[in-house]
Amino acid sequence: MNEKRNRSKVSGTKNDRLTIYDIAQELHISIATVSRALNGKEDVSDETRKRIMEAAREMGYKASRSASSLSRKEKRFAVLFPELIHDYNNEIRRGIEKEVEELREYHLSVDMLTIQGDPEIFASKLRELSADGYDGAIVLSSVGEARLSELLREMKLSRMAVATVTTDLDRDVRVFNVQSNGGVAGRMAGELLSLLTGPGAKAALVTGQLTSQVHKSTAEGFLEEARRQGLEIAGIYEHYDQPAKAYECAETVIREHPDLSGIYLATANSVTFCSRLAELGYAGKIKLVASDVFPKMIEFIRSGLVYATIFQNPFDQGRLATRYLFEHLVEGREFGGNRILLDPQIVIRSNLELYEKKLLDVMSEDVLF
């Protein structure tokens, strides 16, 4: 059979690796079959496949990523962005691009697509990609999570794997989701705000819209911690990420609660709100805790208008989603439909520079990777 194999002869390579040759030998079959079985290809009898899988597990076989990516066909996936690219999404994109660059070494190619923000169009694009033989897709849909889930469920994308970042779909139509740990972020904001205003003070929550799952858990975390800290919640305001609404919202909030001590701005798009608040002369008076770090926010913190912001790590979200989808596609890594939550971080003036640096392309390489 595989007689050509004469181990322990050449190269300085140490000879201890367990390969498909070993398991083929053990089972008296060819390496090709082993390879096929291990990669879940169709053309293997159930019987044989079972024996192979079992042997592999028992012998503790672990495929060599190097060898496989050297011979494998290129894996392809697409990234679907909604049309509206704001700072946050842009950071996610940068994270994806960064990781893609590293994974090119392993024979991955990725196409970035911008899609008009309507669940129907997203769905049909996905179906098209699937038909075109794409192996996977990362979806960043801004709206219509429920509707899109429904559509995807109906069409059953043959073999294409879908992952989501920040915005999520139903568990059964995607492999995994990566987002920030909203619950903890909300609680951190609550704790900081209470520290800033003192106990028993009056605080408000300003957010995008609560129908979004991420925003909802952030809000819940905040309210929970606020309660714990004895903050009085004056109200919850949604501005639907529309500047006009946010502008108006700022006025409404202070009109309704002239004695307000603090506000948690739970979404990244609160610039207008902040600016308006400052215009109205509330700069130092109301303590602000915000979300994320983007150029405008850096100014706000530096000037003291905003005391702290909770960084949600969009860059790493993109990066991780890319890597995980790759591992799923190539190595069959499973995620059980789980959400992968990244740690939010507190940014105040003294560590602001670290996050400012991340925004530039400097990136200084660190962590992680």
Partner DNA sequence: CTGTTAGCGCTTTCAG
Partner DNA sequence: CTGAAAGCGCTAACAG
Q: Which of 25, 26, 53, 72 binds DNA (CB under 7 A)?
A: 72
Q: Select the binding partner of residue 368 from DNA, a copy of itself, none (C-beta < 5 to 8 A, by kind).
A: a copy of itself
Phi, psi of 80 (to 5 degrees): -105, 110
Residues 193 and 287: beta-carbon distance below 8 Å: yes
Query: Toward a copy of itself, which CB reaches closer, 3 or 365?
Result: 365
Distance in Å, CB of 325 to DNA, minimum: 17
Query: Toward DNA, which CB reaches closer, 69 or 242?
Result: 69
Residue 274: CB atoms within 10 A of its CB come to 24
Q: Select the binding partner of residue 348 from DNA, a copy of itself, none (C-beta < 5 to 8 A, by kind).
A: a copy of itself
Residue 208, by phi and psi: left (phi above 0), alpha (psi -120 to 50) or beta? alpha
Element (H, E) at 203: strand 202-207
Query: Toward DNA, which CB reaches closer, 52 or 297?
Result: 52
Distance in Å, CB of 354 to a copy of itself, minimum: 5
Q: Is 43 among the residues that bind DNA (CB under 7 A)?
A: yes
First to last CA, the chain: 43
Q: Select the binding partner of residue 351 from DNA, a copy of itself, none (C-beta < 5 to 8 A, by kind).
A: a copy of itself
Q: Which of 25, 26, 35, 118 binds DNA (CB under 7 A)?
A: 35
User: How far apart are the C-alpha atoms of 23 and 19, rounded to whole Å?
Assistant: 7
User: How far apart are the C-alpha atoms of 13 and 140, rounded to whole Å?
Assistant: 44
Residues engaged in binding a copy of itself (CB under 8 A):
11-14, 64-67, 69-74, 105-107, 181, 184, 187-188, 190-192, 195-196, 225, 313, 316, 319-320, 323, 340-346, 348-351, 353-354, 364-369
Binding mask 1-20 for DNA (x = CB under 7 A): xx-xxxx-xxxxx---x-xx
Distance in Å, CB of 89 to a copy of itself, minimum: 19
Tokens of 163: 């992952």
Phi, psi of 232 (to 5 degrees): -95, 125
Residues 303 and 41: beta-carbon distance below 8 Å: no
Distance in Å, CB of 2 to DNA, minimum: 6
User: How far apart are the C-alpha atoms of 188 and 291, rounded to whole Å?
Assistant: 11
Q: Crossing angle, helix 119-131 and helix 145-155, to 10 degrees?
A: 30
Contact residues toward DNA (CB under 7 A) are 1-2, 4-7, 9-13, 17, 19-21, 28-33, 35-36, 38-39, 41-49, 61, 63-64, 67-68, 70-73
